[in-house]
Homo-oligomer: A and B are copies of this chain.
Amino acid sequence: MKDLNIALIGHKFMGKTHTHAYTDLPIFFNPDVRVVKKLLCSNEADVKEVSKQWGWESYTLRWEEAVESKDIDVIDIAAPSSLHSDIAIAAARAGKHVFCEKPLALTLEKAKEMMQEVEKAGVVNMVGFNYRRVPALALAKKLIDAGMIGDVYHFRGIYQQSWLVDPKFPLVWRLKKSEAGYGSHGDMGAHVIDLARFLVGEVEEVLCEQRTFVSERPKPLSSSGLSAVAGKEMGAVDVDDASSMIMKFKGKAALGYFEATRYGTGHRNQNFIEINGSKGAITFNMEQMNELEYYSCADADEVQGFRKIIVGEPSHPYMGSWWPSGHIIGFGETFVNEMYDFVQAIAKESKVHPDFRDGFLCQKILETAQISARTRRWQKVDEV
C-alpha cells in the first residue's frame, strides 16, 4: 500500500479536528493508501511540542516548507482564513492535493482564484464542509436523491449559537472583518448554505437582512480558541452577529429560509434543518446529530408521523465503519468520515465533493447576500 504524506497547516481548533481524523482513520476505515502524519506547520513556537503530542513526524514554522517539500503529497489548510489563498495557490502550483477549511478566502475574488488554480493543476481538492459527512445528513441526501420526499416546497436552515449573548465577551478575531471576512454569516451560515446546495440545489436569488446587536466589545488581553480574557479598551465589531435570508432556488418552486446567529440564547450549537416535500419531509438538529427525523406521506393514514431514526445502523452512511447498532458518534468523527472520502479520492484518482468549486459557489451566495443586505432588495447570484 502506498504512503500518502500529509502536511497540516494550523494547530488550533481545526488543526486538532484534522489531526484527530488522520489518527483515527486506519482504526475505523480501510483506505487504499497509508496515511502518514508527516509535517505539522504553524508560525507559533509551541508547534514543536504539539506536533510531538499529536504524533506528527516533524514540524515547521514556515508553511512554505511544506509546499516546497518533495515528500509531501497533501497540503491540508487549517490555518487562519487570511492565509488560505496564498497557501492553497502555492500548493496547487506545486502539484499537491489540497484540503482547505471553510471559508475558502476572505474575498470572493480570492476564492475564485483558488478554484481556478486547483482546477488548472488537476489536483484533488476539497473544502471543509464537514456537515456533509454527518451520517444523518448523508442519509437525508440519499433519501432525497431516491425521491423519497418528492419535490421540495420548503427548505429551512437555522444555525444558532449563543456565545455573544454576554456583551462583555471580548472582541476575538472572529468579530474582525480583516481576519474572519464574515461574521455569523461566513462562519456558521456557510455550512447552512452548503447544505442547501447539497440537499436542494443551486440558489438563484437572495434577500438578506443582517444585525450587529452589540457594536463595541472589550478588546481581548489574550485569547485561545473561542475563549478569551477581556481587557479594558473597547473596539468595534465590524461583522454581522446575525443574518436572515430568504432564497429562491434555480428551476424549483422551493421557498428557502436561512438564518445564522450568535445570539440564539439557549442554543450552544443548534444547526436545525427542515425540508418539506411533496412526498415527505425531514428534520435534523446538529445537537442531536445521530438522529434524522423522516416523515413519509406513503405511510398508512392513521400511523403517519415523523420517525426518529437513530442513525447508527450498518445500513446508514459511514456507520458500518463505527460501532455496533445504536452506539453514537460525535462531532470529531465527522472529520474522520470526511478525510476518508478525501484520501480515497486521491487513492482512486477520482473527484470528491464538496470541492473548491462548491466552496466558491457557497461564498458567492454569501457575498450576494451581503450585497442584498446593503441594497435592501433581492439580488441575483449570477449577477455577482
Contacts and interface: CB of A to CB of B under 8 A. Distances in A.
Q: From DSSP, what is the main secondary structure of chain A's interface residues?
A: mixed
Interface string A15-49: 01101100110111010000000000000000000
Interface stretch (A60-68, A80-88, A229-237, A257-265): A257-265
A265 B242 contact: no
A154 B264 contact: yes
B269 A327 contact: yes
A204 B21 CA distance: 47
Interface string A102-140: 000000000000000000000000000000000000010
A296 interface: yes
Interface stretch (A195-203, A301-309, A353-361): A301-309
A169 B213 CA distance: 45
Given A160-B276, A297-B165, A315-B301, A307 B307 contact: yes
A278 B228 CA distance: 20
A121 B195 CA distance: 56
A153 interface: yes
A265 B287 contact: no
A150 to B, nearest CB: 8
26 contacts: A24-B24, A26-B53, A142-B302, A143-B303, A148-B303, A153-B165, A153-B213, A153-B242, A162-B276, A209-B246, A209-B248, A244-B246, A255-B261, A257-B259, A264-B281, A265-B280, A267-B326, A287-B326, A301-B315, A302-B315, A305-B308, A305-B310, A306-B308, A328-B330, A329-B331, A377-B378
Interface of A: 13, 16-17, 19-20, 23-24, 26-28, 30, 53-55, 139, 142-143, 148-149, 153-154, 156, 158, 160-163, 165, 167, 207, 209, 211, 213, 225-227, 242, 244, 246, 248, 253, 255, 257, 259, 261, 263-270, 276-281, 283, 287-290, 293-297, 299, 301-310, 312-316, 322-333, 376-378
